[in-house]
Amino acid sequence: MKLQNIQRAVREHLYFAVSYEQDLFYIGKIKKFEGEDILMKFLEKSAGHIISSTTAKMAENLEMHELPNTASEESLISQQHFGPIDVCVVVTVISAVLYYLFFRKKKEINTFQITPNHVTTSDSSFINKMKSTGRNVIVFYGSQTGTAEEFATRLAKEANRYGMKAMVADPEDYDMEDLCKVPEIENSLVIFCMATYGEGDPTDNAQEFYQWLQTGDGDLSGLNFAVFGLGNKTYEHYNSMAIYVDKRVEELGGARVFELGLGDDDANIEEDFITWKERFWSAVCEHFHIETLGEDINLRQYELKVHEDLPEGKIFTGEISRLNSYKNQRPPYDLKNPFLSTVTVNRELYTGPRSCMHIELDIADSRIRYDTGDHVAIYPTNDSGLVEKLGKLLNADLDTVFSLNNLDEDSTKKHPFPCPTTYRTALLHYVDITSIPRTHVLKEISEYATNEEEKKMLKSMATSSEEGKKLYLSWVVKNCRSIIHILEDLPSLKPPIDHLLELLPRLQARYYSISSSPKMHQTSIHITAVLVEYETPTKRITRGVATGWLKTLKPGDKVPIFVRRSQFRLPSKPHIPIIMIGPGTGLAPFRGFLQERSFQKKEGKEVGDSILYFGCRKSKEDFLYEDELKVFEEEGTLTKLHAAFSRDQPEKLYVTHLLNANKDELWRVFGESHGHIYVCGDARNMAKDVHVIILEIVQEYGKKTKDEAEAYIKKMESQRRYSADVWS
């Protein structure tokens, strides 16, 4: 009986360690083990993965279709003996622990790449790769949406013009301490293309590099470097990551070859980049005493291979990374391994001419856990009508099975997207066909225009001249021309479809604030999304990629998703009062907040005041979740609702007007009662206006100077008492 109890305890503890802690473990993310505790946790969780698999097999043998819950598992285990499988599992775990404790050398801790199924080691030295392949330039990128990676690729490609050989590198894949060895390579140069993410944070793939810069004391003397940053001025911490990298690398001894470049995505980041890189290459030529090799020749990065008789099981059909991953789903689910959820509800929330969707996604049996305030990422599909139109414009057979293979055999990136696949699949799932194309795309496809005027115009827009930049801004950007529109308006332009697929950016996941609480909806995730639809100056109707696709979905349809953790959290103590400011779909996370507080209230917990400021155009057309909010008010969960309907009266009324009218209430909650303030919605205007009002309240009611009030708000932010979930 004791063995059975031990068996049950080990199964339950280790299985749930993997299941509940997947956001901390995130197989595939762990790179290094720098201490006994971390490796021991890895061994425990690996054992848990094995044991949970064993449990599943036992259940399968008993004709069960799910992993057992606690009660049924206890009943099942009480009928089992400590069998051969269990012995093997325990022996494996004990052997691993003994090896770790007694036989390994203390400092021989390898770098691991962890996937759901296996562990492999990899060469983490970019220096070795640079030396063995004769490269003297390396371009690192910190990218969240793919733009920084795209810019890095363009810089590496242009290095050929100057007789330099470059490689593009993800800092997450390499040991960044090797930066100290770069000066060993003659005429070497390191370029950093760094995006800033969230509240001034590094992107996910630059986290370890950022930590090394903060804590490391490496000697970067003799390291030639330059930095280009990607940011957005609507956010407070504009380009803070690039600014920090530029400053810190210099502090460690690096030699700046050219000044820091700052790109603003709220304006025209493409223009910022091409202006910076033209001057940057001039500085490189001067620094290294080199000259351009002549005319800028377009070089293909990938070569086309058409497959004639490839089995269907070998062809990607939209999977993000692993072939057939949508048919054989395996947790944990993340950026490279999304879960194929099922739509259970898709209903309209607006009654007017505009559209807002309430969508519920089933996550039962996925092991996905989420917290109130988290984000869900959705991989959208391009409009099939647009894909067919693009195929006709390019005279392409969309059912052709092909691969694009990197001509650089030493590159870690073998394909621009999962290959082999069909042209149709690539256009539907892998490339962005509706965004405004960047200038390098226009430059490369210009060679395929048979009309000289069209060719001249495309080439002009790709230059850094004032005339070219103005033409690009007016003809492409302001007119919202996608690659489809450009091909329609320039009939002589017929680039090969494979070259165009090489140039177009990857289709990125879209993030939405989750509008539900797991306390009430443990097996589903809710999102609230307004359909993006507008007419361009060229009289074309354009729809948002994600919302346009979501609008077409019906119950039973599949959606690839994963959850991204957020710091947008309710107070840990329910009695603390909160103020929620969320006009429009900014209400989404607060619906989850109210669901959670309602649940806590029904459990008998003391719940503090919950005050909501909401705004929309008309109360009869777009008052989101009106009935639900009334229920929350009636039960006492929602203490007070302040609603502003901007077009229900002659003079516009916004949430900011209501905030100004209730300054004393706001101060009572966050100033006197130490409550929390949450802001969700538009970053460009609303969030900034709210910040100004909060600053005024602290000055007026807190009797502080402007500097003291700003310091007070900074402290609130550091304590997570003033949080924003905003977008531009």
Annotated binding-site members: 143-148, 195-198, 230-239, 265, 354, 510-513, 528-530, 534, 544-547, 585, 646-647, 652-656, 689, 727
Q: If we measure between CA atoms, which residue out of 463, 545, 528, 488 comes closest to residue 681?
A: 528
Kindly state the tokens that stand for 654. 């916004």
Yes or no: say if 282 and 288 are a contact pair by the CB < 8 Å rule: no
> Could you give the C-alpha distances from 604 to 632, 634, 721, in angstroms and in order?
16, 17, 25
Yes or no: say if 533 and 544 are a contact pair by the CB < 8 Å rule: yes
Question: Binding site for FAD: residue ranges?
Answer: 510-513, 528-530, 534, 544-547, 727
Kindly state the tokens that stand for 364. 């039962």
Catalytic, 725? Answer yes
Question: Binding site for NADP(+): residue ranges?
Answer: 354, 585, 646-647, 652-656, 689
**What are the φ and ψ backbone dihedral angles of 359, each rounded to 5 degrees?**
-120, 135
Kindly state the tokens that stand for 432. 């962005």
Catalytic, 356? Answer no
Kindly state the tokens that stand for 562. 């994963």
Q: What is the DSSP letter of 40?
A: H
Q: How many residues does the chain have?
A: 728
- With a CB cutoff of 8 Å and minimum separation 6, the contacts of 402 are 304, 305, 306, 307, 419, 420, 421, 422, 423, 498
Yes or no: say if 256 and 246 are a contact pair by the CB < 8 Å rule: yes
Yes or no: say if 369 and 22 are a contact pair by the CB < 8 Å rule: yes
| Residue of 341, 403, 513, 516 marked active site | 513
For 240, the 3-state DSSP assignment is: helix
Distance CA 581, CA 655 (A): 8
Catalytic, 474? Answer no
Three-state SS for 602-616 is: HCCCCCCCEEEEEEE
DSSP 127-150: HHHHHHHT--EEEEEE-SSSHHHH
Kindly state the tokens that stand for 622. 């777009």
> Could you give the C-alpha distances from 192 to 143, 249, 255, 260, 265, in angstroms and in order?
11, 10, 13, 10, 18
Distance CA 429, CA 645 (A): 39
207-215 and 240-251 helices cross at what angle (nearest 10)?
40
Identity (one letter) of the amino acid at 277? K
Give the other-Cβ count within 10 Å of 223's Cβ. 23
Give the other-Cβ count within 10 Å of 29's Cβ. 17
| Residue of 170, 246, 609, 725 marked active site | 725
Q: What is the CA radius of gyration of the chain?
A: 28
Catalytic, 475? Answer no
Q: 612 has which bridge partners? A: 580, 641
Three-state SS for 417-439 is: CCCCEEHHHHHHHHECCCCCCCH
* CA atoms within 13 A of residue 714's CA, in its CB half-sphere: 8
Q: What is the DSSP letter of 493?
A: B
Distance CA 138, CA 182 (A): 9
Strands (E), 434-592: 510-513, 524-530, 533-535, 541-543, 558-564, 578-581
| Residue of 240, 362, 680, 682 marked active site | 680
Distance CA 85, CA 88 (A): 5
Q: Which residues are catalytic?
A: 513, 680, 725, 727
